[in-house]
Amino acid sequence: MKNKYLEEALRELVNGHAKKRHPFRYFVLATTENGRPTQRTVVLRKTLKDQSLVIYTDKRTQKIKQLQKSSHFSALFYDTKKLLQIRIEGKAELITDTAQIETYWHTVQAASRKDYTTSLAPGTPIEKLDEIEYTTTENNFCPVKLVPHTIEYLRLQRPNHVRVLFSKIKDTWSGEFLVP
Ligand SMILES: Cc1cc2nc3c(=O)[nH]c(=O)nc-3n(C[C@H](O)[C@H](O)[C@H](O)COP(=O)(O)O)c2cc1C
């Protein structure tokens, strides 16, 4: 009974990167900075077989610094048409294996590769927009794996909203209904 909600959530998380213009393509990723929450929009690049979510970023960004100090994350997906919210919590792992980084790098479109090659680190203050320079010698591409520990499904609907919290214990998901 509860499994159909988990299956729906996981299906949508795959569609998020597999289907064009799917509402889960972009999601909000929250991390913490000295115990304070901080969020940003990111692109869902891949949902792996173990339900981990892969994102790409620049290794010099604040999110990477924050995740190195505390790997806890929260991710929020929302489908406006279905009134479906998926909230995921877990721990992030920076991908450091060079072969894996290379495989992911090959999926980045040529026009987007420069996003990972700014001479100055992302977030550095500049006087003018045309001050942005790119290097051709190296990149700061950093794929990150977001490993989920909980997935919370919430769908607003009549007559009753549906809220289910799934927790992963020893590779198995178990779910419980919650008051919406
Ligand atoms: C539509 C959209 C998609 C974005 N996708 C990504 C992304 O996939 N990876 C990323 O690092 N930043 C992405 N960003 C930029 C982040 O929201 C953020 O501004 C940047 O990564 C710096 O965040 P940080 O300083 O908290 O690390 C995106 C922004 C927008 C508006």
pTM value is 0.97
pLDDT at 70: 98
Verify whether ligand 1 is closer than 6 Å to residue 56 (CB atom): yes
Phi, psi at residue 87, to the nearest 5°?
-115, 125
Residue 152: closest CA among 163, 162, 160: 163
- Residue by residue, DSSP assigns 40-95 as EEEE--EE-TTS-EEEEEETTSHHHHHHHH--EEEEEEEETTTTEEEEEEEEEEE-
Q: Exposure string (b/e) for 9-33, b if CB count within 10 Å is 16 or more?
A: bbebbbbbbeeeebbbbebebbbee
Which of 41, 66, 67, 141 has the most ligand 1 atoms within 8 A of CB, as the residue to mutate?
Answer: 41
Pairwise CA distance, residues 150 & 169, whole Å: 9
Atom of ligand 1 nearest to the CA of 61: 27
Q: Give me the tens of pLDDT residue by residue for the chain, a chain 180 residues long.
A: 899 999 999 999 999 999 999 999 999 999 999 999 999 999 999 999 999 999 999 999 999 999 999 999 999 999 999 999 999 999 999 999 999 999 999 999 999 999 999 999 999 999 999 889 999 888 999 999 999 999 999 999 999 999 999 999 999 999 999 999
Question: Could you tell me if residue 154 is left (phi over 0), alpha (psi between -120 and 50 degrees) or otherwise beta?
Answer: beta
Decide if 47 contacts 14 (C-beta within 8 A).
yes
Is domain 3-123+134-177 given the CATH code 2.160.10.10 in the classification? no
In the chain, where the domains are located = 3-123+134-177
Verify whether ligand 1 is closer than 6 Å to residue 149 (CB atom): no
Q: Strand runs (DSSP E) across 22-66, as ranges?
A: 26-33, 36-43, 46-47, 53-58
Atom of ligand 1 nearest to the CA of 62: 27
Verify whether ligand 1 is closer than 6 Å to residue 137 (CB atom): no
Pairwise CA distance, residues 33 & 122, whole Å: 17
Atom of ligand 1 nearest to the CA of 123: 25
Atom of ligand 1 nearest to the CA of 64: 27
Total residues belonging to the chain: 180
pLDDT at 130: 86
pLDDT at 161: 98
